């Protein structure tokens, strides 16, 4: 471990010893390798140097200054100084032993084709003494066969372009690029090689590779034409079989598995008796691919294992690693996640050891997906977030789209639907084309999230779009998922789902995997007049077959809510409980935790209010945090506030901003009082604690609830309560340094900043003046990889076009009157950093075009200069204007608006964050006192009431200045009292019903009207909606926004 921690420490080799004299036995352990790479290395070393460890140890010490060290990648034993080989490295075609004398150069091509790599290497090293170019060429060929394309390319770097090896070298370089999965570069080199005169054998081989590149780049007709030509014209029987195999692959990728199978049968019939190793590998591997496409997973697994064993036997290490990933993906479909993870780990280790970045990325993605499928969401979430951060701005947007799909799916399972929607939208935006393999899963995941969040209008548009994409060549699982979404949407009035559509879905059930059968039964439960319990029980059964704890938990929760929970085995209970508890799931399925551990669970979930109140009160003294949710449930309250002298308020519950404002306004009061939208119960204890509980609706606290709450507050300890962890992403310390908040309204802003910090896309902060948009932008910069560079800011208000252009992009001397020297613009000054554009809506129209150009391609033109410059500055903008309206009126460019708001974050006004008022006020008071060198006074509860009642039209900026003014007014007093308040706050009414902004007044009026309509209709929402002249869906959305229930 110590050696591995230092880059300058030589490698560590351990070996077993026997007896006091230390005789060596067994194999050395090369601790700087992964297990896979170590096995490969030792296998190669034994072939080159024999079974005993001493020759290997001696060989590794023969290096001068270039010996391997800890942390080095796989060093091929092909580079170890060697004597005549001990035995053949590979058993390919090989009944003959390697002769003690080096083979002649005329034998090299045959040895390479038959896989006798040790003999070839032996001959190449000997040939190099006579002809350096010849030996160098063949040593590179050996490295390529051993799965080391990068080292092979380096070996060939010194060879001249025009030599007797130029034709073969062009072919080998194209093969190396193909192994590195750089298909576009390989395709270009193939075109360049085919433009020159070539021997027939090399020309046929390059045409074969060219056909591969056609189908890998999505050019299926060209691929078929090219490969068919090679199969028809080549005189090499192995090359003919290989062309047929690649032709079958192109056909298979074009969704024609039957034709692909026919081509493979033809290839097998034409294969020579002593086929080359690569030919045997391709026949086995491509047959497995066809079985996988046809859903014959057991046969596919057998085929991929056969191909992997062939690759291992012949030393095709890169193909061996790829086959490990292929085996894993079949095992995932067979719900054998543990085995799949082990295969993927070996594939990943092989890709890292061989330096194959594309295969490494694919293995990492599949390993993280396998972790998520097994129900381990939090580790998978970390892996995918690391993957997105590692890619940055990836060359292949499809990889980013796949990561976004899994991040959306994981957040959905965790119950964080806004984050899930954000990742899903990001994935859809990143896709450059319409590849159904990635596009369709993203679309129906988005549809399910819209369904779960009841965004019916968006769901209707998506369902209409998806209906056009259902074709016969689409996978049965994808088609069934779309049918399930359409069926569920139709039940909510978002589209239609006919009887014929249902019959088609039932036909698809026969071909779909258990996961998607469970998905169908879950979403279609209750359709076509069938009792929902029957479909949900089938969903539970299929989810068990698929080993999907998320779908199983959803089905169980729906059944529990219907009072139809099935009997559960202890293993099933533990399975679901572990999934919900270990992943800290916040969705509705979390309601299952309360009864999964009981021996005989009730038919419906029990509420904590039914538990023993004495045990609950006893816990208040020892574990107060654990009883806070309980006091809300026992009293029917939706939010609570706890105040201790000298500390900020502690909030809990899911109350709205207005409900929390009402609690703050009632700080220090005793007993029950009527407020807008419900009742506040104020309670005090001798220790100085004050607690407020908010109960929504027309029903007040009853006597038992008031008595229980009064006993509970007296039992609470006087020490501060530990803040409960905020749900969502862990907050970067730099964000916490710049943004101080305890409100749910700001939690979404902070999480959005956290997610956006890893990217380079533009960000647009919107909100009223004084809400803290610049502080949010600074937090974004501080949490980003650019934090080490200086923060650069510009205010775009009140600038002439010339001054604005000069400020942003710079100017040359003499560019305009007064330009007496060159000036660097802020865009250039912010290279590698963040450029904050405050009041971007005020930017002159003439300069908006220049900013648009910079956002498009990163180039800009200083005034008075004719040659463009480049900068990678990240643009973060802020505005308090309605840019949509400004764009429609022609005052702001529509295309610039689209470029600026790739990520748009609205910062809420302070009146929507009442719980932040005491927190921010205390912070600003301490900050001002420290700056002036005076002690910070305490804040009396009546002052908090006044602060909470005030609407703060100037937002956070006004609150900061109020804290400064009150510090001056207190004249060193130990406590801030009402007499120190500015006049405008003294005159604000205590009940918070006057002196408020127009939006707050309208919102309160809307709340009262809806509450009255619900009460008049006895909770019948359809009748209430009719009386209000709005749709039932609009009523539900307004109730959710205002925190109202039908009771």
Among 79-88, 323-332, 707-716, which stretch is predicted with the lowest mean pLDDT?
79-88
Enter the CATH code of domain 746-906. 3.40.50.300
Q: Is the pLDDT of residue 171 over 50?
A: yes
Q: What are the tens digits of pLDDT across the range 279-293?
A: 999 999 999 999 998
Length of the chain: 1047
Among 272-281, 337-346, 530-539, 731-740, which stretch is predicted with the lowest mean pLDDT?
731-740
Average pLDDT over residues 478-506: 87
| pLDDT recorded at residue 117 | 65
Q: Cα–Cα distance between 736 and 416 in angstroms, integer?
A: 21
Which of 380-394, 802-816, 975-989 is most confident? 802-816
Residue 18 bridge partners (DSSP): 23
Contacts with 662 (C-beta within 8 Å, 6 or more apart), sequence order? 675, 676, 677, 678, 680, 694, 992
Answer whether 0.85 is exceeded by the pTM: no
Q: What are the tens digits of pLDDT across the range 648-674?
A: 677 787 777 778 778 888 887 888 888
Q: Is the pLDDT of residue 861 over 70?
A: yes
| pLDDT recorded at residue 763 | 94
| pLDDT recorded at residue 58 | 61
**38 — phi, psi (to 5°)?**
-65, -45
Q: To which residue do tokens 């001068």 refer?
A: 64
Write out the CATH class of domain 608-715: alpha beta
Q: To which residue do tokens 């300069």 refer?
A: 847
Q: Cα–Cα distance between 1023 and 1011 in angstroms, integer?
A: 13
Among 301-315, 576-590, 733-747, which stretch is predicted with the lowest mean pLDDT?
733-747
Q: Pick 614 or 235 by higher pLDDT.
A: 235
Q: What percent of the chain has pLDDT over 70?
A: 81
Tell me, rounded to whole angstroms, the distance of Cα 178 from its chain centroid. Answer: 29
The 3-state secondary structure of 568-623 reads CCHHHHHHHHHHHHHCCCCCHHHHHHHHHCCCCCCCCCCCHHHCCHHHHHHHHHHC
Q: Cα–Cα distance between 1017 and 1025 in angstroms, integer?
A: 10
The sign of the CA dihedral 930, 931, 934, 939 is negative
Q: What percent of the chain has pLDDT over 90?
A: 20
Q: Is the pLDDT of residue 119 over 50?
A: yes
Q: Pick 22 or 473 by higher pLDDT.
A: 473
Q: Cα–Cα distance between 495 and 467 in angstroms, integer?
A: 10
Q: Which of 582, 175, 137 is nearest to 375 (CA)?
A: 582
Q: How many alpha carbons lie under 13 Å from residue 790 in its C-beta half-sphere?
A: 8
CB 1004 within 8 A of CB 658: yes
Q: Which of 518, 521, 571 is nearest to 546 (CA)?
A: 518
- Token couple for 129: 């003494």
DSSP string, 838-887: ETGGGS-HHHHHHHHHHHHHSEE--BT-SS-EE--PEEEEEESS-HHHHH
Q: Is the pLDDT of residue 32 over 50?
A: yes
Q: Pick 331 or 46 by higher pLDDT.
A: 331
Tell me the C-alpha to C-alpha distance, in Å, between residue 1004 and each of 658, 902, 914, 946, 985.
9, 34, 15, 19, 21
| pLDDT recorded at residue 524 | 86
Exposed, middle or buried by CB within 10 Å (0-12, 13-18, 19+), for 7? exposed
CB 1046 within 8 A of CB 1010: no
Q: Pick 328 or 15 by higher pLDDT.
A: 328
Write out the CATH class of domain 998-1042: mainly alpha
Among 14-28, 426-440, 740-754, 838-852, which stretch is predicted with the lowest mean pLDDT?
14-28
| pLDDT recorded at residue 415 | 87
The mean pLDDT of the chain is 80
The sign of the CA dihedral 870, 761, 377, 440 is negative
Q: Cα–Cα distance between 244 and 232 in angstroms, integer?
A: 10
Q: What are the tens digits of pLDDT across the range 383-410?
A: 888 888 765 544 467 778 888 999 999 9
Exposed, middle or buried by CB within 10 Å (0-12, 13-18, 19+), for 1018? exposed
| pLDDT recorded at residue 912 | 82
- Token couple for 1008: 């009262």
Q: To which residue do tokens 């904050």 refer?
A: 836
Task: Give domain limits for the chain.
Answer: 1-71, 88-196, 388-433, 608-715, 746-906, 910-986, 998-1042
How many C-beta atoms lie closer than 10 Å to residue 974's C-beta? 9
Q: What are the tens digits of pLDDT across the range 912-926?
A: 888 788 889 888 998
Q: What are the tens digits of pLDDT across the range 613-649?
A: 666 766 666 667 667 878 888 888 888 888 876 666 7
Q: To which residue do tokens 């009431």 refer?
A: 945
Among 188-197, 299-308, 483-492, 608-617, which stretch is predicted with the lowest mean pLDDT?
608-617
Q: Cα–Cα distance between 390 and 72 in angstroms, integer?
A: 21
The rounded radius of gyration (Å) of the Cα atoms in the chain is 35
CB 770 within 8 A of CB 958: yes
| pLDDT recorded at residue 627 | 78
Q: Cα–Cα distance between 572 and 578 in angstroms, integer?
A: 10
Q: What are the tens digits of pLDDT across the range 452-468?
A: 877 777 888 888 888 77
Q: Cα–Cα distance between 795 and 37 in angstroms, integer?
A: 56
Q: Is the pLDDT of residue 93 over 50?
A: no
CA angle 158, 159, 160 (to 5 degrees): 115
Q: Is the pLDDT of residue 253 over 50?
A: yes
Which of 92-101, 122-131, 565-574 is most confident? 565-574
| pLDDT recorded at residue 301 | 94
Average pLDDT over residues 293-317: 88
Tell me the C-alpha to C-alpha distance, in Å, between residue 874 and each of 591, 756, 759, 871.
43, 12, 9, 9
Q: Is the pLDDT of residue 74 over 80?
A: no
Average pLDDT over residues 964-983: 88
Q: Is the pLDDT of residue 246 over 70?
A: yes
| pLDDT recorded at residue 615 | 61
Q: Is the pLDDT of residue 317 over 60?
A: yes
Do 608-715 and 998-1042 share a fold? no
Q: Pick 71 or 564 by higher pLDDT.
A: 564
CB 771 within 8 A of CB 955: yes
Enter the CATH code of domain 910-986. 1.10.8.60
Q: Cα–Cα distance between 1000 and 985 in angstroms, integer?
A: 17
């Amino acid at each position: 471990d110590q050696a591995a921690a230092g880059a300058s420490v030589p490698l560590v080799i351990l070996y077993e010893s026997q007896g006091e004299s230390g005789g060596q036995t067994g194999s050395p352990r090369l601790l700087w390798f992964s297990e896979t790479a170590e096995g490969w290395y030792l296998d190669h070393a034994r072939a080159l140097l024999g079974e005993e460890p001493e020759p290997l140890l001696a060989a590794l010490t023969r290096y001068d200054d270039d010996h391997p060290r800890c942390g080095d990648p796989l060093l091929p034993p092909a580079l170890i100084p060697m004597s005549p080989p001990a035995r053949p490295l590979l058993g390919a075609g090989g009944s003959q032993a390697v002769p003690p004398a080096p083979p002649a150069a005329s034998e090299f091509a045959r040895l390479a084709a038959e896989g006798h790599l040790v003999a070839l290497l032996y001959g190449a090293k000997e040939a190099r003494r006579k002809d350096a170019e010849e030996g160098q060429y063949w040593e590179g060929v050996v490295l390529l066969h051993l799965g080391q394309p990068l080292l092979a390319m380096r070996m060939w770097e010194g060879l001249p372009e025009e030599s007797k090896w130029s034709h073969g070298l062009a072919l080998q370089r194209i093969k190396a690029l193909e192994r590195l999965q750089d298909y576009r570069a390989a395709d270009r080199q193939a075109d360049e090689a085919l433009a020159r005169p070539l021997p027939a054998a090399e020309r046929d081989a390059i045409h074969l590779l060219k056909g591969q590149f056609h189908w890998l780049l999505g050019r299926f007709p060209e691929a078929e034409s090219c490969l068919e030509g090679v199969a028809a014209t080549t005189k090499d029987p192995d090359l003919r079989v290989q062309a047929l195999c690649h032709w079958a692959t192109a056909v298979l990728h074009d969704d024609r598995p039957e034709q692909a199978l026919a081509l493979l049968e033809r290839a097998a019939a034409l294969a020579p008796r002593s086929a080359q190793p690569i030919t045997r590998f391709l026949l086995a591997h491509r047959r497995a691919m066809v079985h996988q496409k046809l859903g014959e997973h057991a046969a596919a697994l057998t085929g991929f294992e056969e191909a992997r064993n062939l690759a291992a036997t012949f030393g095709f290490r890169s193909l061996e690693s790829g086959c490990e990933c292929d085996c894993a993906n079949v095992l995932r479909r067979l719900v054998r996640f543990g085995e799949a993870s082990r295969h993927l780990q070996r594939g990943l280790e092989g890709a890292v050891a061989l330096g194959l970045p594309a295969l490494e990325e694919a293995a990492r993605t599949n390993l993280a997906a396998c972790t998520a499928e097994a129900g381990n969401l939090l580790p998978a979430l970390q892996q995918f977030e690391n993957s997105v951060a590692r890619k940055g701005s990836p060359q292949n947007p499809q990889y980013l789209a796949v990561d976004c799909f899994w991040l959306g799916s994981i957040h959905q399972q965790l119950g964080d639907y806004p984050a899930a929607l954000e990742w899903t939208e990001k994935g859809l935006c990143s896709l450059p084309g319409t590849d159904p393999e990635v596009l369709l899963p993203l679309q129906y995941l988005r549809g399910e999230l819209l369904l779960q969040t009841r965004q019916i209008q968006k769901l209707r548009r998506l369902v209409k779009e998806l209906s056009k994409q259902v074709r016969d060549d689409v996978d049965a699982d994808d088609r069934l998922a779309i049918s399930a979404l359409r069926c569920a949407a139709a039940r909510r009035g978002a589209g239609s789902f006919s009887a014929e559509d249902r019959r088609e879905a039932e036909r698809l059930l026969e071909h779909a995997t258990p996961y998607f059968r469970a998905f169908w039964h879950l979403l279609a439960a209750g359709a076509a007049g069938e009792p929902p319990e029957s479909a949900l029980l089938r969903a539970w059964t299929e989810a068990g077959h698929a080993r999907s704890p998320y779908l199983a938990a959803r089905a169980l929760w729906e059944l529990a809510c219907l009072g139809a929970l099935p009997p559960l085995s202890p293993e099933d209970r533990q399975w679901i409980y572990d999934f919900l508890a270990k992943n800290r799931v916040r969705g509705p399925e979390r309601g299952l935790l309360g009864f999964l551990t009981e021996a005989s669970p009730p038919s419906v979930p029990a509420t904590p209010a039914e538990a023993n109140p004495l045990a609950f009160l006893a816990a208040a003294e020892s574990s107060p945090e654990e009883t806070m949710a309980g006091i809300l449930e026992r009293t029917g309250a939706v939010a609570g506030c706890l105040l201790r002298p000298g500390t900020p308020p502690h909030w809990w519950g899911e109350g709205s901003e207005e409900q929390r404002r009402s609690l703050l306004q009632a700080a220090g009061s005793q007993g029950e009082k009527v407020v807008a939208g419900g009742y506040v119960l104020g309670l005090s204890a001798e220790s100085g604690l004050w607690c407020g509980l908010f109960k929504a609706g027309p029903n007040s606290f009853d006597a038992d609830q008031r008595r229980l709450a009064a006993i509970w507050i007296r039992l609470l300890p006087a020490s501060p309560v530990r803040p409960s962890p905020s749900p969502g992403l862990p907050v970067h310390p730099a964000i916490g340094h710049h943004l101080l908040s305890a409100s749910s309204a700001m939690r979404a802003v902070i999480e959005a900043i956290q997610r956006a910090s890893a990217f380079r896309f533009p960000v647009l902060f919107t909100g009223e003046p004084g809400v803290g948009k610049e502080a949010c932008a600074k937090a974004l910069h501080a949490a980003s990889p650019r934090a080490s560079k200086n923060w650069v800011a510009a205010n775009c208000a009140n600038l002439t076009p010339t001054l604005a252009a000069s400020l942003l992009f710079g100017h040359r001397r003499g560019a305009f009157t007064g330009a007496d020297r060159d000036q660097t613009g802020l865009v250039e000054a912010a290279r590698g950093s963040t450029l904050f554009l405050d009041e971007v809506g005020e930017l002159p129209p003439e300069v908006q075009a220049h900013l648009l150009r910079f956002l498009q391609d990163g180039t800009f033109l200083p005034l008075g200069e004719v040659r463009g410059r480049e900068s990678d500055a990240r643009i973060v903008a802020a505005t308090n204007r309605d840019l949509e309206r400004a764009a429609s009126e022609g005052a702001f460019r529509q295309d610039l608006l689209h470029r600026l708001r790739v990520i748009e974050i609205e910062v809420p006004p302070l009146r929507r964050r009442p719980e932040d008022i005491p927190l921010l006020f205390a912070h600003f008071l301490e900050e001002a006192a420290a700056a002036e060198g005076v002690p910070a006074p305490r804040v009396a509860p009546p002052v908090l009431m006044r602060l909470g009642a005030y609407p703060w039209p100037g937002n956070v900026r006004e609150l900061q200045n109020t804290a400064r003014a009150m510090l001056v007014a207190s004249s060193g007093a130990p406590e801030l009292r009402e007499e120190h308040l500015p006049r405008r706050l003294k005159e604000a009414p205590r009940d918070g019903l006057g002196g408020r902004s127009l939006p707050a007044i309208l919102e309160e009026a809307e709340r009262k009207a809806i509450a009255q309509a619900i009460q008049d209709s006895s909770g019948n929402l359809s009748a209430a909606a009719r009386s209000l002249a709005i749709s039932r869906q609009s009523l539900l959305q307004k109730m959710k926004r205002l925190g109202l229930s039908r009771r």
